[in-house]
């Protein structure tokens, strides 16, 4: 029995990711929104879209708060109700859940969800400090811990417990850069070799420069509606059939394990149950590879392989284009870039392209079911969505 759709994606847009000098976040969001509007020309944004839920992590990059009405204004959505959603790097994944609930409740017929972050106008040390605000202040930030350090703890624990190697981490980066070359919207469209990753400068052992995602500017958005109404709007439709969100302890040191993200496992279980799907049913996935170890752990938490087998899973070629379960065909956060507030719905944008046959050179043949996995912080928040082609 096919799971009943929760809401339908009828359009999607994403800005070019990268160092977008001279632009504000509002302009990036407008760029993404315009693509979505162009795909759905029989919808009048100012008339038909009644609400917007926009993920954005920090006010510090542009010294600007109250950002949702700014983005909505520039995108031509007035007088639609606009709300900013903040859940660190899972901000737009959480915004999507708000949009789904708005549609399911019957309160709105058509809504926009999305996210944006303008990061590169601050120097790297300041960006690192802003990102670290998504970790605990008195126990982690105050003691000098940043996100490379937190994920390095996960990596060393995984290496100790399961024998995962630096080379296996590096192969995640090599794969995702190879995919990113095929994505014209990606930040870094350049292949890298295993040797380049291994010889790149250390950031926090065992993580090196090429194990870390990029500081990026970008925006993404989706247009959602009721499944019945969607049929009248476009032939390019994707059904959202499962959604899950869960939280874990904010502090890494309070968790049961450093080698798994409990919130991701819980969110995935919720989404699988709701969609009546299992890991083996997924044809293509976008996972939160903020660091290479995060992708390896995601394979395990999502049930794609057994605990401890994530390193061997990427080595097998299963998760590369041409494999049986391509992961991060967009290039992932590693190559596409990680404008944190935009990442969750940017993942869904890639799946929208894949499930409607519009992914061009990186198209996964016969892709019918997609999964997106979006983390906030070191995994205190996790959001998982499961999509089906219509």
Residue 1's pLDDT band (cuts 50, 70, 90): low
* pLDDT of 2 strictly over 90: no
From 2.70.70.10, 3.30.40.230, 3.40.47.10, 3.40.50.20, which CATH number describes the 136-214+241-389 domain?
3.40.47.10
CA proximity to 124, closest of 155, 152, 141, 146: 146
Which of the residues 179, 187, 288, 338 is marked catalytic? 338
Distances (CA, A) of 168 to 198, 211, 281, 293, 296: 10, 11, 25, 9, 9
Q: Please say if the pLDDT value at position 18 is more than 90.
A: yes
C-alpha to C-alpha distance for 315 and 17, rounded to whole angstroms:
28
Contact predicate 187/336, CB 8 Å = yes
The β-bridge partners of 366 are none
What is the pLDDT averaged over residues 229-248? 97
**7-122+216-238 and 136-214+241-389 in the same fold:** yes
Strand residue runs (E) in 7-138 = 7-14, 51-55, 81-85, 110-117
Active-site choice (89, 204, 212, 305): 89
**Mean pLDDT to the nearest integer, 130-140:** 95
What confidence score (pLDDT) does residue 163 get?
Answer: 98
Contact status, residue 158 vs residue 152, Cβ threshold 8 Å: no
Residue 45's pLDDT band, with cuts at 50, 70 and 90, is: very high
**Model pLDDT for residues 330-343, shown as the tens digit of each residue:** 999 999 999 999 99
CB environment 61-81: b (16+ within 10 A), e (fewer): bbeeeebbbbbbebbebeebb
Mean pLDDT of the region 139-166? 96
As a whole number of angstroms, the distance between CA 228 and CA 235 comes to 12
For the beta sheet containing 51-55, the strands, ordered from the edge strand earlier in sequence to the opposite edge, are 81-85, 51-55, 110-117, 218-225, 7-14, 238-247, 381-389, 369-376, 284-286
> pTM here?
0.98
- Residues 223-235: what's their mean pLDDT? 96
Our answer to whether residue 89 is catalytic in this structure is yes
Domain boundaries, the chain: 7-122+216-238, 136-214+241-389
288 is catalytic: no
**Is the confidence at residue 237, as pLDDT, over 90?**
yes
- DSSP H or E segment with residue 206: none
Residue 231 has a pLDDT of 95
How large is the average pLDDT for residues 189-210? 98
Domain covering 7-122+216-238 in this structure, CATH number: 3.40.47.10
Q: In sequence order, what DSSP letters do the residues of 225-244 get, joined into one string? A: E-HHHHHHH-S--EEEEEEE
pLDDT at 12 over 90: yes
Express each pLDDT in 300-359 by its tens digit. 999 999 999 999 999 999 999 999 999 999 999 999 999 999 999 999 999 999 999 999
pLDDT, tens digit, for every residue of 54-102? 999 999 999 999 999 999 999 999 999 999 999 999 999 999 999 999 9
* pLDDT higher than 90, residue 167: yes
**Range 242-252 average pLDDT:** 96
Q: Are 259 and 252 in contact (CB under 8 A)?
A: no
Mean pLDDT of 100-122: 98
């Amino acid at each position: 029995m096919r799971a009943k759709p929760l809401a339908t994606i009828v359009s999607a847009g994403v800005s070019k990711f990268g160092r977008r000098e001279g632009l504000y976040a509002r302009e990036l969001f407008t760029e993404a929104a315009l693509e979505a509007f162009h795909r759905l020309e029989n919808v009048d944004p100012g008339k038909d879209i009644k609400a917007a839920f926009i993920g954005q992590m920090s006010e510090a990059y542009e010294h600007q708060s109250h950002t949702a009405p700014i983005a909505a204004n520039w995108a031509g959505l007035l007088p639609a109700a606009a709300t900013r959603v903040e859940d660190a790097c899972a901000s737009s994944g959480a915004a999507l859940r708000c949009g789904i609930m708005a549609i399911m409740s019957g309160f709105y017929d058509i809504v926009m969800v999305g996210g944006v972050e303008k990061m590169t106008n601050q120097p790297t040390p300041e960006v690192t400090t802003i990102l670290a605000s998504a970790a605990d202040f008195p126990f982690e930030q105050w003691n000098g811990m940043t996100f490379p350090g937190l994920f390095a703890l996960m990596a060393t624990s995984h290496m100790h417990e399961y024998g995962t190697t630096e080379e296996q981490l590096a192969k995640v980066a090599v794969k995702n850069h190879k995919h990113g070359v095929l994505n014209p919207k990606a930040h870094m469209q350049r292949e890298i070799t295993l040797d380049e990753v291994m010889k790149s400068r250390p950031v926090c052992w065992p993580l090196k420069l090429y194990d870390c995602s990029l500081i990026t500017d970008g925006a993404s958005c989706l247009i959602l509606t009721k499944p019945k109404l969607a049929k009248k709007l476009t032939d390019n439709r994707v059904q959202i059939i499962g959604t899950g969100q869960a939280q874990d302890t904010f502090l890494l040191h309070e968790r049961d394990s450093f080698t798994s993200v409990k919130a991701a496992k819980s969110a995935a279980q919720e989404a699988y149950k709701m969609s009546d799907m299992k890991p083996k049913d997924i044809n293509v996935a976008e996972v939160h590879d903020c660091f290479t170890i995060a992708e390896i752990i995601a394979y395990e938490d999502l049930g794609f392989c057994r605990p401890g087998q994530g390193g061997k899973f990427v080595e097998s070629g299963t998760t590369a284009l041409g494999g049986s379960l391509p992961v991060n065909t967009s290039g992932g956060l590693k190559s596409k870039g990680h404008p944190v507030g935009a990442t969750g719905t940017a993942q869904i944008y890639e799946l929208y392209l894949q499930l409607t046959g519009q992914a061009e050179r990186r198209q996964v043949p016969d892709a019918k079911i997609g999964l997106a996995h979006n983390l906030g912080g070191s995994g205190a928040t996790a959001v998982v969505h499961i999509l089906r082609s219509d």
